[in-house]
Amino acid sequence: MQADHFDQQKLLALAAEDVALAQLAHRARTLPELAAVEAAQEAQRTLADDVVRAETEVRDLDREQKRLEADVDTVRQREARDQARIDGGATAKEITGLQHELESLKRRQSDLEDQVLELMERRETADAALATAQGGLAGAQADQERAEQQRDAALADIADATSRHQATRAEIAGTVPSDLLKLYDRVAQQTGSTGAAHLRAGRCEGCRIEFYGTELATYRNADPHTVLRCENCGRILVRNAESGL
């Protein structure tokens, strides 16, 4: 293919834009902010589970406390009733029986009081665990919001830069003859990156292969308007004063 030597030079600027666009796309995919958002979401899920567990524990203890309080009431009522019967003139035999029962009720009462104390301690621990989990969850939510804001800001920067480079690329592409541009785009698709590379100091800057002897001589002797291709990577080789020819 033949193309104006000057038009061929434009392909280097086009390739530079494609490299910049590829780097921006890569940056958008591998932003550390993306991982930070994911980590914050994961932390939040774990802490939300902790809150649910702690709330369940507190609710269970509440239920147990109500049950114990009801038991204490029952024992107290029993004691009062027995005492009233003793005071109200029961027979000696009945009094002996009632006193036995009162003793057993007192033991039961003291047992229940121990259980209430133990329950209060467990409740204190559960309340503290709930407060810690809730605090942790609030912190994780704030972390996630911050991480999302940072991610969005980074993505917005990338989007800005991308549209700037796309505009520049379109501007350059608009000045390249269509058959040369078509070739460039086809090669770019094949290489997965750029369609042209600088031949610099006898080396293809696209694939880094160095040319010697007859190969270099072929490039040297080629007409400036002939479109050269790298034999290794297929890119259009753009020549200028730095090409080492």
Residues forming contacts to Zn ion in the complex (CB under 5 A) are 204, 206-207, 230, 232-233
Give whichever of 8 and 144 is closer to Zn ion, judged by the CB atom.
8
Kindly state the smallest distance separating residue 190's Cβ from Zn ion, in Å: 12
Give whichever of 9 and 41 is closer to Zn ion, judged by the CB atom.
9
Distance CA 171, CA 229 (A): 24
Give whichever of 74 and 232 is closer to Zn ion, judged by the CB atom.
232
Give whichever of 88 and 192 is closer to Zn ion, judged by the CB atom.
192
Give whichever of 24 and 233 is closer to Zn ion, judged by the CB atom.
233
Kindly state the smallest distance separating residue 177's Cβ from Zn ion, in Å: 22
Kindly state the smallest distance separating residue 43's Cβ from Zn ion, in Å: 47
